[in-house]
Homo-oligomer: A and B are copies of this chain.
Amino acid sequence: MSRPARVTITESSPRDGLQSLGVFIPTDAKIGLIDDLSMAGLVSFDAVSFVSPTAVPQMADAAEVIAGVARIGVFLRGLVPNLRGLEAAVAAGVDGIGVLTAASDTFSERNINADVEESMDRIRAILDEVPAGLSVRAYISTITHCPYEGPTDPARVAVLAERLAEWGCDEIFLGETLGKGTVGDVERVLDHVLARVPVSRLGVHFHDTYGQALANVVLSLDAGIDKLDSSAGGLGGCPYAPGAAGNVATEDVMWLLDGLGIDHDGDIQQVASVAARFCDEHNLPYRSRAGRATLAASEVEA
């Protein structure tokens, strides 16, 4: 399979990036981040999560964030753990929802208090109630490694992906939650999944905890996948690896795509400016290498 001509980047910093921080980012700042990144050309956002505020206090203001964003041409997705979350997401007026399962029972139990089959039941119940026209993306976590169970069986990921596709999920995103997977691990999972699910419905979500994310992005592009999550400035972390990096940085992905002549939304220098300013204002590490180099180069030129 050849590389796609165009890739859809979903900007994950507002949700996956911010929710793994130990601090609460004020509502206005979350809205400002999405608005500024959309001014930088990004269109698709993993914006919020409609989880219980007790479980994830960082996302307690999900509805206010959706209400506050200047919604000119942007696509806002909200993660939905259950029917109550779906109701809140629909009331808030999201463009799409995300639902969550995992390829490891122990991880799923600790993450969302349901084993894999129970999480699939919840997804099934949500799908039965989803209003027409609302896009549904299903995430499968721990596709290569589980922090409790070790290496993941790729066949299990493929079976879950196939069921989610058959149930009508528009997109199935493969989440390498720990960032431990190397290209060999990811290749095995993709081989299994692509035998059961059309590539046009697959996306990938990599964490850069062990520095492997961009190599895994390349592998996924080579497999024909044209949808991926990334986070401006590499915002975020990994609750299972203290001090570790977050999602693969949007700017690093953009540099790759620009170098390969693959079309995408957003401008690398503008995204880097927005993310660097946000990190600076909230005392967070700015982690994009391509972003830092791009900003440094623009200062030299200026």
Chain A interface residues (CB < 8 Å from chain B): 179-185, 208-212, 214-215, 217-219, 241-245, 249, 251-252, 255-256, 258-261, 288-290, 292-294, 296-297, 299-300
How far is it, in angstroms, between the C-alpha of A294 and the C-alpha of B243 when the chains are bound? 10
Minimum distance in angstroms from A189 CB to a CB of chain B: 13
Cβ–Cβ < 8 Å partners of A259 in chain B: 180-185, 212
Chain A interface main SS type: helix
Which of B184, B209, B218, B251 contacts A215 (CB under 8 A)?
Answer: B218
When all copies of this chain in the complex are counted, the total is 2
Cβ–Cβ < 8 Å partners of A212 in chain B: 214, 252, 255-256, 259, 290
Residue of B nearest to A297 (CB): B241
13 A-B pairs whose Cβ atoms sit less than 8 Å apart in the complex: A179-B293, A183-B260, A184-B259, A210-B255, A211-B251, A211-B288, A212-B259, A212-B290, A215-B217, A215-B218, A218-B218, A241-B296, A245-B292
Residue pair A211, B214 in contact (C-beta under 8 Å)? yes
Cβ–Cβ < 8 Å partners of A181 in chain B: 259
Residue pair A210, B241 in contact (C-beta under 8 Å)? no
Minimum distance in angstroms from A247 CB to a CB of chain B: 13
Cβ–Cβ < 8 Å partners of A209 in chain B: 289, 293
Residue pair A244, B208 in contact (C-beta under 8 Å)? no
Q: A211-B289, A249-B211, A289-B211 are in contact. Are A183 and B218 (CB under 8 A)?
A: yes
Residue of B nearest to A245 (CB): B289
